[in-house]
Structure 1
Amino acid sequence: MTVPILMYHAIATDPNEATRELSVSPEAFAWQMEIISHLGATPITTARLAASWREGRPLPERPVLVTFDDGYEGVHRHALPVLAKHGFPSTLFVSTAWLRGPHDNGRALDAMLDWGQVRELAAEGVEIGGHSHTHPQLDQLDDESLRRELILCKEIVSDELGTVPASFAYPYGYSSRRVRRMVRETGYAQALAVGNGLARRRQGPYALLRVTVRRGTGAEEFQRLIEGRAVARTFARDRAFTKGYAMVRRARQLRRKATRSRV
Structure 2
Amino acid sequence: MHGDRRREEHRHGTHLDGGGRHRAAVDTEQQDARGEWLRFAPVQPLFRALAAQRLAVLAYHGVTDHRSFGAQLDRLQRLATPVSLGAVLQAVTERRPLPPRSVLVTFDDADRSVLTHALPALDARGIPATAFVISELIGTERPFWWHEADFLARHGGRARSLDCGHPSQLLRRLKAMPDPDRRRSLHELRVSADRRPPRQEQLTPADLLALRDGGVAIGNHTQGHPCLGRCDDDTVRAEITGAHEALTRWLGEPPIAFAYPDGGHDVRAETVLQELGYRLGFLSDHRLGPRLPSHPLQISRLQVDSTTSTRRFDTILSGLEPAYRRWRRQAVA
CA contact (8 A) 1:196 1:210 kept: yes
Q: Does 1:63 align with 2:102?
A: yes
Counterpart secondary structure, 1:52: helix
1:58 Cα offset (Å): 4.5
Aligned in 2, Cα 1:236/1:45: closer, same or farther, shift over 3 Å? Answer: farther
The CA distance in 1 between the partners of 2:318 and 2:55, in whole Å, is: 9
| Residue correspondence of structure 1 range 27-176 to structure 2 within 5 A | 27-39=67-79, 41-101=80-140, 107=144, 109=147, 110-176=200-266
Q: Is the 8 A contact 2:63 2:305 kept in 1?
A: no
1:7 aligns with 2:59: yes
Flag the structure with more relative contact order, 1 or 2, with Cα contacts below 8 A and sequence separation at least 6: 2
Which AA in structure 1 matches 2:59?
Answer: M
1:180 aligns with 2:270: yes
State the structure with more CA Rg: 2
1:223 aligns with 2:262: no
Moved more, 213-222 or 154-163: 213-222
Distance 2:316 2:303 in 1: 10
Q: Percent identity?
A: 31
In the alignment, structure 1 residue 207 sits paired with structure 2 residue 298 = yes
Structure 2 SS opposite 1:91: strand
How many positions carry a matched residue from both structures?
225
- The AA in structure 1 aligned to 2:215 is G
CA distance in 1, matches of 2:121, 2:232: 41
Question: Structure 1: which 5+ residue stretches go unaligned?
Answer: 13-24, 245-263
Shift of 1:8: 0.4
Deviation at 1:216, TM superposition (A): 5.3
Q: Which residue is 2:163 aligned to?
A: none
Amino acid at match of 2:134: S
**For the Cα contact (< 8 Å) 2:92–2:293, is it kept in 1?**
no
Distance (Å, rounded) in 2 between the aligned partners of 1:67 and 1:27: 18
What letter is aligned with 1:232? A
Following superposition, the deviation at residue 210 of structure 1 comes to 0.5
CA RMSD of aligned residues (A): 2.2
- Going by fraction, where is helix more abundant, 1 or 2? 2
What amino acid does structure 1 have at the position aligned with 2:61? Answer: H
Please tell me whether the aligned partners of residues 47 and 167 of structure 1 are also in contact (alpha carbons under 8 angstroms). no
> CA 1:73 to 1:236, structure 2 compared with 1: closer, same or farther past 3 Å?
farther
Q: Distance in 2 between matches of 1:170 and 1:27?
A: 29
Corresponding letter in the other structure for 2:98: L
- Check 1:60–1:174 CA distance in 2 against 1; reply closer, same or farther (3 A cut): same
Matched letter for residue 189 of structure 1:
R
**Counterparts in 2 of 1:236 and 1:51: CA distance versus 1, 3 Å:** farther
Take 1:125 and 1:37, find their aligned partners in 2: how far apart are those partners?
16
Deviation at 1:175, TM superposition (A): 2.4
Task: State the one-letter code of the partner of 1:3.
Answer: L
Distance across 2 between alignment mates of 1:185 and 1:9: 28
SS in 1 for 2:218: strand
Structure 1 distance, partners of 2:305, 2:327, is 15
TM-score (structure 1 length as normaliser): 0.78
Give unmatched runs, 5+ long, in structure 2.
Answer: 1-52, 148-199
SS at match of 1:51: helix
Q: Residues of 2 paired with 1:111 and 1:233: CA distance?
A: 38
